[in-house]
Amino acid sequence: MRVKVRHRIDRLAAKYERAAAEAPAAFQRIVHDNAKDGRDIAKTFARESAGDHGKLYHRAITLGRAETSGFEPVFASPGLAWEFGPEADRPQGGMSFEWGSRNQKPHLDLNRAADVVGPEMGRDVVRLAARLLR
């Protein structure tokens, strides 16, 4: 009797090559989409918490690519670092709503938005990794 054994390591290798090719764009999309959600949630919180005193503040909250210089190499890949928050040069963008002051309690609009999108982004990453390596 003869037993013929054939390995399928080539299929595994092909799967990993495909995953490596797809991963950068897919992870960039996750980072961008969650940062965008964070911006939108923060704007909603800010519109409510700033009240009449800061009725323009929520419009100052924007989304942009984060500076990558100084980040760890893993974040230096294009599109893997986004940030949202108020721009100081926009109307009311420099007001101290986020952390408050001696005369104002902290509003924590950005923190509360990050509380929502942070775990969601973690789940997106887990789901994507599972899909790429399926």
Partner 1 sequence: MSEELHAAALVASANAALAAGGLTNPTKAYDVDDVPSPRPQNYVEIFVHRRAGGEFRACGWIGTTSWRVTARYVARSVSNARELRRRVTSGWEDIAVTVGGVESTRLVFETSVPIGEDDGYYTGLDSWVYSL
| Residue matched to tokens 């100052």 | 60
134 contributes a contact to partner 1 by CB under 8 A: no
Residues 33-92 binding partner 1 (CB under 8 A) are none
CA-wise closest residue to 43 among 28, 53, 55, 33: 55
CA-wise closest residue to 45 among 117, 124, 122, 119: 117
Least distance (Å) between residue 101 CB and partner 1: 5
101 contributes a contact to partner 1 by CB under 8 A: yes
Least distance (Å) between residue 9 CB and partner 1: 28
What is the rounded distance in angstroms from the CA atom of residue 116 to the CA atom of residue 114? Answer: 5
Residue of 24, 122, 131, 133 interacting with partner 1 (CB under 8 A): 122
Please report the sign of the dihedral spanned by the C-alpha atoms of residue 46, residue 49, residue 55, residue 57.
negative
Residues that bind partner 1 (CB under 8 A): 99-103, 105-106, 108, 111-112, 115-116, 119, 122-123, 126
